[in-house]
Amino acid sequence: MSNEELKKSVSGIIPEAALEEGGQFLNVVIPALSLRQLAVQLRNDAALDFDYLFCLSGVDWKEYFYVVYHLTSRKNGHTIVVKAKIQDRLNPEVHTVSDLWRTAEFHEREVYDLFGIKFTAHPDLRRLFLDDTWGFPLRKDYRDDTTIVSL
């Protein structure tokens, strides 16, 4: 499926999606509340068949967060990047996709541990590397008074 066909499909599912080209893959920016609706369609629609999540990461842009999902269809040979934009910095959350792509379970725990982004309905959301005495060290507003690290 070409990027033009992917754009049309995504726009039909989430009309407010911002579609960006220019890099290696088609990038789709959506509100975090729309993630679940789009993810289910990307996974279950036979024409799209995004059966493999190969990367999930968090990004802090000071004013908002992104959770970034790199998805590919091994059968159809197309790839897409979905960026769920989270405006709420005090209580950042997005719905889990670990029931759709099992690889997300570990990656969501990592993003939670380092950014503090909660994944609602995650089966085992707990810290992965750090204990509860830490804050969230990959946030732009993180400050560590012990080692005097601040961004």
Instruction: State pLDDT tens for residues 74-91.
Output: 999 999 999 999 999 999
Domain enclosing residue 28, as ranges: 3-150
Q: What is the pTM of this model?
A: 0.93
At 90, which CATH number?
A: 3.30.460.80
Q: How many domains does the chain have?
A: 1
Note the pLDDT of residue 149. Answer: 59
β-strand pairing of 93-95 with 118-120: parallel
Q: List the beta bridge partners of residue 85.
A: 31, 66
pLDDT tens figures, 97-134 = 999 999 999 999 999 999 999 999 999 999 999 998 88
| Whether the Cβ atoms of residue 39 and residue 46 lie closer than 8 Å to each other | no
What's the average model confidence in pLDDT over 1-13? 93
What is the separation of C-alpha 79 from the centre of its chain, rounded to a whole number of angstroms? Answer: 15
Tell me the backbone φ, ψ of residue 5, rounded to 5 degrees. -65, -40
